[in-house]
Amino acid sequence: MTFFEKLNERAAQIHSLLCVGLDPHLDDLPAPTAEAARDWCLRLIHLTSDLALAYKPNAAFFEALGPAGWAALKEVIAGVPEGIPVILDAKRGDIASTAEAYARSAFEALGADAITLNPYLGRDSLTPFLKNTEKGVFLLCRTSNPGSADLQELVLSSGLRLFEQVALAAGSEMGLVVGATQPAALARVRGLAPNAWILAPGVGAQGGELEATLQAGLRRDGLGLLITVSRAISRAENPRQAAQELCRRIQMAQSPAEGRSAAAHPLADGLLQTDCVRFGEFKLKSGLISPIYIDLRNLVSSPALLGQVGAAYLPLLRSLKFDRLAALPYAALPIATAVSLQGGWPMIYPRKEAKAYGTKAEIEGEFHPGERVVVIDDLATTGESKFEAIEKLTGVGLSVEDVVVLIDRQSGAKEALAARGFRLHAVATLSDLLDIWQANGKVEPALLQAARAFLAQTGG
């Protein structure tokens, strides 16, 4: 099994997400020696080994004690019972033969099962650590220190922040480090990396709130999040009791969130702030009076949010087979462009009306008959606009099986498409968003109630 498969297996077996940090601060030791640091860690391991999903020794505290400290670190790792993963918190980052030496040091000389790495030097600096799939890698993504925003929050030309690009680059083969003090960033990372294991330090002494961290970072299966706690356990009057209480609180929030859309959490507030979603009374094209109105054309004026919206499509698209994106005019054109830039897929789009001059094309962009395209749109309501576009695409020899939207209004589109042999995939349903706004108090309860009543009336 790979490292992350082993992590999944142990998490399911012991029903715990607790990662116990082994940080032997000199102030906590009876003497400033390597032997004292070793014994301090081994005692903590003995008290918590049936509760810990993993252990995370911090290399710096051992290195500061010289050669004897390095030997003590090796003894501590060897002292962890078999079957419990050890994540070496070393934050290495270098290239070529130096990176290879760091990998041998962590995995062969010390015997660690995984390591934290700084991805700033690029993919080739990570390669030596990825050669053995039985070993794991956690990339620093959005860290808990106040100065992390200096670089990690920088907005790239794609519209993504730097830490979001790291989350995308990690794929499914690497874990990520996101501070528990950054729940909004944690939710964004979970949306971009729905299957990844996330190491979340900062609960307790650094101010991270456990429940907020779990809400933002859990996978749909209730796993995928390592809650790293050091001082709140080691400095407790009864460390075992402290660990037990943390496990209890984790388990209360750990049940699978089948209806939850992780990708929707970081977008929900932005959609309100940019008036992409408004509450009131609005006459729809159908003639119905709706208490909620969604207009994603406003995204073009908010490049950062547009980039986040584009990124939210990526996990869904990566699970599908296709050759090109086919964007529906007009609202989906900027969205699909953001998706294309971030995912690297070529894009075409069917015109609402054929050109009356020049090529008289109905489809803009390069394509070849026989290729499979995935239809990209902003919303799904009844599905009628999708059928019109699909007819144009199939009329020139393209194949269509899937439609991907940001929001499913739950007004029959999924069922209508399925009846014609097409699959609808949505980043979020309207119900998902209403639940999020209720949980964070961003929308008045009466408005949410009216929206839900309208959904029930229209078949949602």
Classified as helix, coil or strand, 265 is helix
Helix (H) or strand (E) segment spanning residue 346 = none
Token pair belonging to 193: 């990396």
In angstroms, the CA 334 to CA 299 distance is: 8
**Contact residues for 104 (Cβ-Cβ < 8 A; gap 6+):** none
In angstroms, the CA 22 to CA 383 distance is: 55
Classified as helix, coil or strand, 205 is coil
In angstroms, the CA 41 to CA 45 distance is: 6
Catalytic residues: 91
Residue with token string 């050890």? 86
Start-to-end CA distance of the chain, whole Å, equals: 42
In angstroms, the CA 386 to CA 394 distance is: 12
Length of the chain: 460
In angstroms, the CA 56 to CA 23 distance is: 8
In angstroms, the CA 213 to CA 198 distance is: 11
Burial class (CB in 10 A: 0-12, 13-18, 19+), 244: middle
Token pair belonging to 31: 């003497």
At residue 295, φ and ψ (nearest 5 deg) are -135, 95
In angstroms, the CA 90 to CA 95 distance is: 15
Q: Mark out the alpha helices in 357-442 (DSSP H runs).
A: 384-395, 413-419, 430-440
In angstroms, the CA 194 to CA 188 distance is: 10
In angstroms, the CA 6 to CA 144 distance is: 27
In angstroms, the CA 375 to CA 386 distance is: 8
In angstroms, the CA 354 to CA 362 distance is: 5
Q: Indicate the DSSP class of residue 109.
A: I
